[in-house]
Amino acid sequence: MAGEETGGRLGEEFFTPGGSSFTAFLAAYRPELLSTRSPLPDSLQADPDRVPHGTTVLALSFRDGVLIAGDRRATMGNLIAQRDLEKVHPADDYTAVAFAGTVGLALDMVKLYQVELAHFEKIEGTAMSLNAKARRLAGMIRDNLGQAMQGLAVVPLLTGYDPSAPEGERGRIFSFDVAGGLYEKTDFHAEGSGSPYARGALKKLFHQGMSRRDAALAALQALYDAADDDSATGGPDINRRIFPIVSVITEEGFERLAEPETEELSREMVEQRRGSPDGPTATV
């Protein structure tokens, strides 16, 4: 670090007035530390089949806030690279981010985003608004466009609890494209290779005013449908006791459902599927 050249003291850059963006600070003084800086020359194209990729993540609103969930599988071409990957992470107390895409870059981007939000709050003395958090993440994705065009794309899904929104609409969902395009979604959304199947399941399962338990079961059903038709998405692994990650954000803040609760709901869902392999049908 810069402080190493001054006998362990912090360099002048740490005492130079600047903005509230930690990413902008790194870009100015240590750009090589940014995860969005491509390690490949522009003339080279990455081989996606040699890099672990995460797959299906989803989010849906419910009565008390918003739920965000993801399967646990990472693939590398036709191989399963990891069975217990964690794709859902808290960004701060009232915001969470999940990702599909290149695992290594995604994890670095999530960590940088967490620091970005914490740095802003320390500098400004207040937390960012949820809209500002979404725009800041969109900017980070846009900075990664060069790597995305080389085959190393990261596609996050952002959720948050917005106390300034009307009652019943405080759980909000944002999606992005690889160029940093920002889109707010209503009710539910999914990203990743299994997302078309997950969204199809949520279309028939989602309804307004769902309880937390009903929302969690709907998310697990949607991930099961995604795994049923997409080989890159992993379903609940009963034998290894590996189950999807399900988290909620409410007025009380971020909470990851405890492993025993997720296991109980997953086993209940799998048992239901014994008699109805295609899952529950939509009410007419």
Which pLDDT belongs to residue 4? 46
Pairing of strands 74-76, 53-54: antiparallel
Which pLDDT belongs to residue 180? 93
Which pLDDT belongs to residue 162? 95
**What residues contact residue 18 under an 8 Å CB cut-off, 6+ apart?**
24, 25, 28
Residues of the chain falling short of pLDDT 70: 1-19, 22-49, 284
Whether this model's pTM surpasses 0.95 = no
pLDDT digits (tens, 9 = 90+) for 58-72: 999 999 999 999 999
User: 221-234: buried (b, 16+ CB within 10 Å) or exposed (e) per residue?
Assistant: bbbbbbbbebebbb
Rounded to whole angstroms, how far apart are CA atoms 26 and 152? Answer: 21
Which pLDDT belongs to residue 161? 97
Q: Cite the active site residues.
A: 55
Which pLDDT belongs to residue 229? 95
Which pLDDT belongs to residue 214? 96
